[in-house]
Amino acid sequence: MPLGGPLEIVHSPLRRTTETAGAVAAALAAETGFGVPSPLRPDPGFLEIGQGEWEGLPGAEVEASWGEVLAGWRRDPLTSWAPGGESVRDVDARVRPALARLLGRLGERGGGTTGMRSHVLGYGEPPSLDPWTILVGHDGVFKVTLLALMALPLERFWSFPFSLCGISVVEFRAGRPRLRAHNLTDHLAPFDDERAQAIEAERNRSGAF
């Protein structure tokens, strides 16, 4: 676990991710004793995949009008994508420079403990003094980002699912990335409980099954 707040919170410039990044910064400052909110830095390299003519349309409408293309996208996103939208290779071409900027800024802050820490978890190691960053983005661009970090081919695009507001942790040791945690959602349980209670209250009120 790192000591202190993140170096920065990098986020896609879209409104929903900007608002989420702001909420994360405020929560860290208020609840963890990190002090002032971490600086926010929008980076267009982490924008969600441009979906062209599919943008903003319900899934059922996309499937009805572009069924074969959509099936191709789900089967092999390197050969099929939204008309007028970005290919996975297009996204990869902008994610890599953005990722280099993020990692470069971390590298400038140094740290120095990572290479000496054990590669095996569970040995009661002390908190890390290395700098860390939070990235707030989108499902599709996170897939490409993780593939780039893990040096995996783009053909593995569908290998990593990302839940809405799920948390993944990539750690560097001796200059090598490793996926320490992926798609954690336990922190969302209180919201699920509230939703379940609201549904139950409405069912009791209406008498519905």
Q: Identify which of 48, 50, 49, 37 has the alpha carbon closest to the alpha carbon of residue 11.
A: 48
Q: Tell me if the pTM is above 0.85.
A: no
Neighbours of 4 (CB within 10 A): 15
Residues 8, 105 contacting (CB under 8 angstroms): yes
Q: What is the largest CA-CA distance in the chain?
A: 62
Q: Identify which of 114, 118, 115 has the alpha carbon closest to the alpha carbon of residue 129.
A: 114
What CA–CA distances, in Å, run from 147 to 27, 135, 179, 180, 206? 29, 15, 11, 15, 48
Each residue's pLDDT tens digit, 10-66: 999 999 999 999 999 998 888 766 666 789 999 999 999 999 999 999 999 999 999
Q: How far apart are CA 16 and CA 126, in angstroms?
A: 35
Each residue's pLDDT tens digit, 83-126: 999 999 999 999 999 999 999 999 888 754 455 566 666 666 66
Q: How far apart are CA 192 and CA 10, in angstroms?
A: 27
